[in-house]
Amino acid sequence: IKAEGRNGYRFFDVTMQQEAQKRWQLEEGLYKAVERNQLEIWIQPQVSNEYVITGAEVLLRWRHPEKGMISPMDFISVAEESGQISAIEEWVLEESLSLLSRWQATNLPSTFRHLSINISPSHFMQADFIQRMLPILERYPVPGINIEFEITENLLINNFKQAIETMQVLQEKGISFSIDDFGTGYSSLRYLNQLPINVLKIDRSFVSGIANLDDDAPIIDVILLMAKKLNLEVIAEGVETQIQHQFLAQRECSLYQGYYFSKPMHHRDFFNLLMQDNGV
């Protein structure tokens, strides 16, 4: 038993070492990725019950020369730990504004309201977040109303006051906020009322529970009712089937994001889709 234990430990140790090496390689690669333009903006439509595109989420992709496309699931946490996330998300904001200003030179459908950008908690809570983001916003002729920031509930645990202040400054510029992955993190009913939030994004895990035995229907009911009372919009994330869409539509959900409507696509393809008929 003792020998087995030792072997087990050694095995664990080796994989830990491999993991550490993999992360280090990702971290090194990520520095080059920014310099060498390997990061790409992909976009997933957000649609109404009438299949009109009312907004869209910006999702990062890393086109690695040897490894192919790398998912943000694999590199965002690395970027957060290494401190690269701020520079990366400043780039994302810059690119998004640049896209919006080019798009607005065409006849963008008036039903399209904004691009939603994910902001990492570690970035959002940095002391110079505002000082660094505002000049980027001011560099482009894009109204703040065309930008939404997605933040998570966990952001609010540590420094509620600072979070509110940051949000208020940006709100004055027209920027709106949504709570991402709603229902999965630290939830306090109080913050919903105190923060300048406009949208709750129901996490995919609740949506995929629809029509299963472990039905998440009551939770979705409660979120929709609460949002209505608090005058918040709701987006259901990760809608994959017609059954899920129907279920949500019957409960007066009005906005959706998911493979059933459209997968994320390169920003060029998104623009073409938007200009075609503004529907998916």
Element holding 248 (H helix, E strand): helix 242-250
Closest by Cα among 194, 221, 186 to 207: 221
User: What are the strands, taking DSSP E only, across the chain?
Assistant: 39-48, 53-64, 68-70, 114-118, 147-152, 176-182, 199-202, 233-237, 255-257, 265-266
User: Which residue among 240, 265, 275, 280 contacts ligand C2E (CB under 6 A)?
Assistant: 240
For residue 99, the minimal CB distance to ligand C2E (Å) is 14
Question: Does residue number 238 form part of the binding site for ligand C2E (CB under 6 A)?
Answer: yes
Establish if 150 lies at the interface with Ca ion (CB under 5 A): yes
Which residue's CB is nearer to Ca ion, number 104 or number 154? Answer: 154
CA 108 to CA 55: how far, in whole Å? 12
Q: Is 73 a residue that touches ligand C2E (CB under 6 A)?
A: yes
CB of 151 to ligand C2E, least distance (A): 9
Is 264 a binder of ligand C2E (CB under 6 A)?
A: yes
| Of 16-24, 107-115, 160-168, 253-261: span binding ligand C2E (CB under 6 A) | 253-261
41 exposed, middle or buried (CB, 10 Å; 0-12, 13-18, 19+)? Answer: buried
Which amino acid is it at 97? L
* 148 counts as binding Ca ion under rule CB under 5 A: no
What is the x/- site pattern for Ca ion, positions 17-46, by CB under 5 A? Answer: ------------------------------
Residues 3-13: b if buried by 16+ CB within 10 A, e if exposed? eeeeeeeeeee
Select the span of 27-35, 68-76, 154-162, 171-179 touching ligand C2E (CB under 6 A): 68-76
Among 89, 148, 153, 181, binds Ca ion (CB under 5 A): 181
How big is the site for ligand C2E, counted in residues (CB under 6 A)?
A: 21
Closest CA to 165 of 202, 115, 120, 130: 130
What is the number of alpha carbons within 13 Å of residue 42 lying toward its C-beta?
17
The answer to whether the beta carbons of residues 154 and 181 sit under 8 Å apart is no
Q: Which of residues 199-218 bind Ca ion (CB under 5 A)?
A: 204
Residues 79-138 that bind ligand C2E (CB under 6 A): 89, 92, 118, 120
Residue ranges binding ligand C2E (CB under 6 A): 44, 59-60, 71-73, 76, 89, 92, 118, 120, 180-181, 204, 238-240, 257-259, 264
Residue ranges binding Ca ion (CB under 5 A): 118, 150, 180-181, 204, 237
